[in-house]
Structure formats: structure tokens, C-alpha cells
Copies of this chain bind each other. A is one copy, B any other.
Amino acid sequence: MDVVSALKKLKDNGYKHTDKREDMLTLFSEEKRYLSAKEVLENLQDEYPGLSFDTIYRNLSLFEELEILEVTELNGEKRFRFSCETNHHHHHLICLQCGKTKHIDVCPMEDITLKASDFNVTGHKFEVYGYCSACQ
């Protein structure tokens, strides 16, 4: 996922192109890590004084719906990152300090034969937490 194809996806789905949306996408493409709504706001409000939290949240949700961003929840707050380029199903190593990530190619679900016959499995989450080299 990159800014250009994200903007195209917006247009293809009937959403408008705005400077704020483009700047949000650019931010995510530059910072390859999980960002909170607050971090996104702070990064943009120099250029847009009076930028509303509502705008941030609305667009983050939209981007998530369009699979431009992926989301995780950490310490009671949502964090978003640019969807990975690869289509390969995978998981992440996440820095608890700065949100930086590394890929984990293995998916535990592949190995585990869930004989959970009476359980209708709809999803799973596998995340490994720690601190990146810069944050240790």
C-alpha cells in the first residue's frame, strides 16, 4: 500500500480527495509504524490549525474500512499503520514504546488443528511485544 494507490482507492469508492486525507496518508507512508489518533493530529495541526479530532477519527475509520490502514489496540487505545504491501497473511512484532513493527511470517493458526468443533472461529490475533533497538 502506498499513497497513490490509497488515493485511487478513495476515488474509486466515491470518496473525495482532500488535502487532509492526502497528508494523513503521507504521514503513514513515511512513519512505518503504529500511530495513535493523537499522534496523527499532532503531526498535522501545524499545517492545519483548528484541525478536528473528528476529522482524524472519521478518516482513520474510513481508511480502515477500505483496508488502507490496519489497526490494533494497545493499552486501551487504537493504533493504526499503513497496510503491509504483501498480501501474505502475517503478524507483527510491535515496539511498545514507538510502535515500530517487524514482520513475523509464521502464522500459528496454520499449525494448530483447532478441534474446537463446537466453536465457530471467526478470527485470531497473534502479536509479539517488546522494544525496538532505538527504544531499548
Contacts and interface: CB of A to CB of B under 8 A. Distances in A.
A42 B96 CA distance: 34
A119 B93 contact: yes
Interface majority SS on A: helix, strand, loop or mixed?
strand
Contacts of A104: 112, 114
Q: Give how many copies assemble into the complex.
A: 2
Interface in A108-131: 108-109, 111-112, 114, 116, 118-131
Given A73-B73, A121-B130, A124-B126, A106 B116 contact: no
The 4 closest A-B pairs by CB, nearest first: A108-B108, A118-B133, A121-B130, A124-B128
B106 A119 contact: no
Contacts of A131: 119-120, 122
A131 B121 CA distance: 7
Interface string A60-100: 00000000000001001010000000000000010110000
